[in-house]
Amino acid sequence: MANDDMQFEEPEIIYIPDEDGNEEEFEVIMKFEVDGSDKKYMMVVPLSIEESDDEEDEVYAFRYEEEGDDLKLYTIDDEEEWSMVEETFNTLLGELEEDKD
């Protein structure tokens, strides 16, 4: 049974420069805050034209801050922080999968 009231949001696209300064296009698939922290995180996947045949997209995680229209991304270098982000992402992803069923 189709739900005619469902609205699909326009995907959020951001541009991240690579090592050579070329901007690459990424789709934001999830934003979240970790409990007990005021830090914000986002998970993104590349929107490259050269799509691979792999089933799984590579997912990148960044800590971010928003100042007005400016978005600042920070890599996650700390192993403990990375584990916390990965665990939160997997939990949220599992909840989304359960909601689909």
Quick one: tokens of 83?
Answer: 């584990």
**What's the predicted TM-score (pTM) here?**
0.75
Half-sphere exposure of 74 (CA within 13 A, CB side): 12
Percentage of the chain beyond pLDDT 90 is: 45
* pLDDT tens profile 16-52: 988 899 999 999 999 998 777 789 999 999 997 555 5
Quick one: tokens of 19?
Answer: 């090592």
Using CB atoms within 10 A of its CB, is residue 28 exposed (0-12), middle (13-18) or buried (19+)? middle
